[in-house]
C-alpha cells in the first residue's frame, strides 16, 4: 500500500522500498526562480489532491565537477523550479516519537544535492531513525552579496527546511524535539554555522559536523566586493533587480568564470582578505558575517556557548586534502621549492613543514602539503569546537581508499556513515570493508538516538578521539598532537 501523509501544502504519496517508506522531492518553500531567487524563502503554495512524492526534485543551478572529481563522486543536476525540497525516509509513518536525522549535503557551497545514492537515508530508517535530506540555494543563488537582496539566502533555506521538519516530521513518525542535524564539507560548515546562528536555536537537539570547519565565513564588505565583481563580469548593474532577470545558465556562466579567476589569482587586494583566506582561494560564495544570522566566526561563537552548547559529534578524515591535491594534478606542481611559497597562501608559516616532515620520513612535498592543509582546514577547527563543548565526541576516519593516492581522503567517510558502500566504489575501490561501515553507521545511529556514539567525550584534558579504521578501530588520546600544536603556532587567521 502506498503511504500518504499530510504536510504543509497538502497531501503527498510516497512508496515503500525494502520495508522503508520513502517520500522524495517534497517542496518546503516556494520555487525561488526569477526575482524570487534573490529573496528569502517564501511559504510553499498549497496544492490540490495528493501529490506524488516518488521522484527526486530539482536541484539548484550548478555546473558539473571538473573531470577528475566527477570520476570519483559524479555530479548533480536535476531540472526543476521547486529545488527547495526534501526527501524523507521513515520506518513507519504511523509511528510516533522516533529520532530524526536531517542531512545537509556538501559541494563547496556551489554544487551538490540531496539526490545522491550515497545520501539515501533508507539505511537509517531501517535502523529506526527518520531521515530527511534537504536541498538549498547554492553558489551565487545562495550566497552572492547583491544590493537589495538579503545575505545568506542558502542558510535561510536550511533554517526554513529545519522549520519544515519541526512542523511536519510527526506526520512521518518522527519526534520534532529529537532532531539531529548532520552534514559534510560545506554541509559540515553549514552545521557549524547553524550552531552559531540565533534563528536556528531550538530547531535541533544535536549536531554532527563531518569534515567541516567553523571559519568558512567572510566579511560583509568583502562579500559585497565579490558580488560587485560578479555583476561586472556579467555586464550587469549590481542589484537584485538586474540579477533577477538572469537565466540560470547565464548566472552559472558568470559564477564559473569568476571562480576560475579567484583560483588562478587569489589576490586579497582584489577579492578581499576574508574571501581568500577563509575561502582558501577556492570558495567565492559562502556564508557572510551579517551580524544577525551569522553574528561572527562560528568557531568563536560556539567556543563561547559553554553549557548552552548543543551536544556535538565532530571529526575529520586523516588525509582530507589529498582529494583536492592528487586527482586534480596539483600534486605534480608541489615540490620542495614550491611548498614554502604555497603555505603562506593558506595563512601558514612555511616553517611548519619541518614539523610534519619529521613525522613522515620519505614523504614527498605533496604528501606533506596535503597533511598540513588537512589539519589547517579541518582538524584545527574541529578540535577547537570539541574543546569548548562540554558534550562533544570527536572522531577521525583513517581507513585508506583502495583508489591510488587518495588515502583517507575527503568524502570517503560518507558511504560508511550511510552504509552505502555499493554506491561508492569509484571512491572507495572495489572492496571496502563492510564491517567498518557497520561500525561507523551504528555510531551515528546511536548518537542520533541517545547522544552517545559509543566512546568517551572529548575534553581539553583527555583529547580522546575515536579513530575509525580496519581491521581495528581504536580510541586515541590526542593523535598527532605535536603536529596540531605546531600548526596552531603557524596559523595566521584573518580577523573579522
Name the more confident of 237 and 88: 88
For the ranges 343-357, 396-410, 422-436, the lowest mean pLDDT is seen at 343-357
* CB 187, CB 108: distance < 8 Å: no
What's the pLDDT at 493?
52
What percentage of the chain reaches a pLDDT higher than 90? 93
In this model, does residue 242 exceed pLDDT 70?
yes
Catalytic one of 105, 156, 393, 410: 410
CA distance 299 to 217: 10
Active site residue 82: no
CATH classification of 311-490 is 3.40.50.1820, yes or no? yes
Residue 137: closest CA among 39, 237, 65: 39
In which band, very low, low, confident or very high, does the pLDDT at 495 lie, cut at 50, 70 and 90? Answer: very low
What is the mean pLDDT of the segment spanning 33-50? 97
What is the mean pLDDT of the segment spanning 66-83? 96
* Three cell numbers written together for 412: 570517503
Cα separations in angstroms, 355 against 181, 288, 374, 379, 484: 36, 34, 15, 16, 10
Let me know if 161 is exposed, middle or buried by CB neighbors in 10 A (0-12, 13-18, 19+): buried
Active site residue 185: yes
Provide the β-strand partners of residue 134.
86, 104
* Three cell numbers written together for 164: 519544515
In this model, does residue 492 exceed pLDDT 70?
no
385-426 pLDDT tens trace: 999 999 999 999 999 999 999 999 999 999 999 999 999 999
Cα of first residue to Cα of last residue in the chain, in angstroms, is: 55
What is the mean pLDDT of the segment spanning 327-343? 95
Residues 6+ apart with CB under 8 A from 424: 118, 414, 415, 432
Catalytic one of 184, 224, 320, 396: 320
What's the pLDDT at 496?
47
In which band, very low, low, confident or very high, does the pLDDT at 282 lie, cut at 50, 70 and 90? Answer: confident
Output the pTM of the full model.
0.97
Residue 413: closest CA among 388, 443, 391, 384: 443
Catalytic one of 21, 185, 215, 401: 185
In which band, very low, low, confident or very high, does the pLDDT at 24 lie, cut at 50, 70 and 90? Answer: very high
Domains of the chain, by residue range, sit at: 219-288, 311-490
* CB 130, CB 98: distance < 8 Å: yes
For the ranges 110-114, 143-147, 306-310, the lowest mean pLDDT is seen at 306-310
Mean pLDDT over all residues of the chain? 95
Question: How many CA atoms does the CB half-sphere of 441 hold within 13 Å?
Answer: 24
What's the pLDDT at 411?
98
442-472 pLDDT tens trace: 999 999 999 999 999 999 999 999 999 999 9
In this model, does residue 494 exceed pLDDT 50?
no
217-228 pLDDT tens trace: 999 999 999 999
What percentage of the chain reaches a pLDDT higher than 70? 99
Amino acid at each position: 500500500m502506498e503511504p500518504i501523509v499530510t504536510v504543509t501544502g497538502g497531501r503527498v504519496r510516497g512508496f515503500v522500498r525494502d520495508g522503508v517508506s520513502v517520500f522524495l522531492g517534497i517542496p518546503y518553500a516556494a520555487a525561488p526562480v526569477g526575482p524570487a531567487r534573490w529573496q528569502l524563502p517564501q511559504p510553499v503554495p498549497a496544492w490540490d489532491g495528493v501529490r506524488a512524492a516518488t521522484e527526486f526534485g530539482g536541484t539548484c543551478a550548478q555546473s558539473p565537477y571538473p573531470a577528475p572529481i566527477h570520476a570519483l563522486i559524479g555530479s548533480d543536476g536535476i531540472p526543476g523550479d521547486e529545488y527547495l525540497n526534501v526527501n524523507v525516509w521513515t520506518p513507519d509513518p504511523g509511528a510516533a516519537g522516533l529520532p530524526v536525522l536531517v542531512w545537509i549535503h556538501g559541494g563547496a557551497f556551489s554544487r551538490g544535492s540531496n539526490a545522491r545514492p550515497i545520501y539515501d537515508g533508507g539505511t537509517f530508517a531501517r535502523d529506526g531513525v527518520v531521515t530527511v535530506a534537504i536541498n538549498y540555494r547554492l553558489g551565487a543563488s545562495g550566497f552572492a552579496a547583491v544590493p537589495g537582496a538579503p545575505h545568506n539566502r542558502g542558510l535561510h533555506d536550511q533554517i526554513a527546511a529545519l522549520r519544515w521538519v519541526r512542523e511536519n516530521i510527526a506526520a512521518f513518525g518522527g519526534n520534532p524535539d529529537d532532531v539531529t542535524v548532520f552534514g559534510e564539507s560545506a554541509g559540515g560548515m553549514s552545521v557549524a554555522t547553524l550552531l552559531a546562528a540565533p534563528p536556528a536555536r531550538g530547531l535541533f537537539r544535536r549536531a554532527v559536523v563531518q569534515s567541516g570547519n567553523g571559519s568558512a565565513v567572510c566579511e560583509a564588505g568583502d562579500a559585497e566586493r565579490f558580488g560587485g565583481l560578479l555583476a561586472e563580469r556579467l555586464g550587469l548593474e549590481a542589484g537584485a533587480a538586474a540579477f533577477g532577470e538572469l537565466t540560470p545558465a547565464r548566472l552559472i556562466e558568470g559564477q564559473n568564470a569568476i571562480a576560475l579567476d579567484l583560483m588562478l589569482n587569489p589576490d586579497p587586494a582584489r577579492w578581499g582578505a576574508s574571501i581568500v583566506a577563509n575561502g582558501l582561494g577556492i570558495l567565492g560564495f559562502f556564508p557572510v558575517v551579517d551580524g544577525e544570522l551569522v553574528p561572527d566566526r562560528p568557531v568563536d561563537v560556539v567556543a563561547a556557548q559553554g553549557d548552552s552548547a548543543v551536544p556535538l559529534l565532530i571529526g575529520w578524515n586523516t588525509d582530507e586534502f589529498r582529494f583536492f591535491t592528487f586527482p586534480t594534478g596539483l600534486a605534480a606542481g608541489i615540490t620542495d621549492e614550491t611548498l614554502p611559497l604555497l603555505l603562506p597562501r593558506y595563512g601558514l608559516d612555511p616553517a611548519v613543514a619541518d614539523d610534519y616532515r619529521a613525522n613522515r620520513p620519505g614523504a614527498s612535498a605533496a604528501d606533506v602539503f596535503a597533511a598540513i592543509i588537512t589539519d589547517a582546514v579541518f582538524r584545527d577547527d574541529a578540535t577547537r569546537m570539541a574543546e569548548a563543548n562540554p558534550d562533544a565526541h570527536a572522531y577521525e576516519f583513517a581507513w585508506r581508499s583502495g583508489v591510488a593516492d587518495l588515502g583517507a581522503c575527503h568524502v570517503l567517510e560518507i558511504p560508511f556513515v550511510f552504509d552505502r558502500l555499493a554506491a561508492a566504489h569509484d571512491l572507495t575501490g572495489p572492496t571496502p570493508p563492510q564491517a567498518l561501515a557497520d561500525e561507523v553507521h551504528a555510531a551515528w545511529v546511536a548518537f542520533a538516538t541517545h547522544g552517545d556514539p559509543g566512546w568517551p567525550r572529548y575534553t581539553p584534558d583527555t583529547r580522546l578521539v575515536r579513530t575509525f579504521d580496519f581491521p581495528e578501530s581504536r580510541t586515541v588520546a590526542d593523535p598527532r598532537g605535536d603536529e596540531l600544536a605546531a600548526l596552531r603556532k603557524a596559523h595566521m587567521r584573518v580577523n573579522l
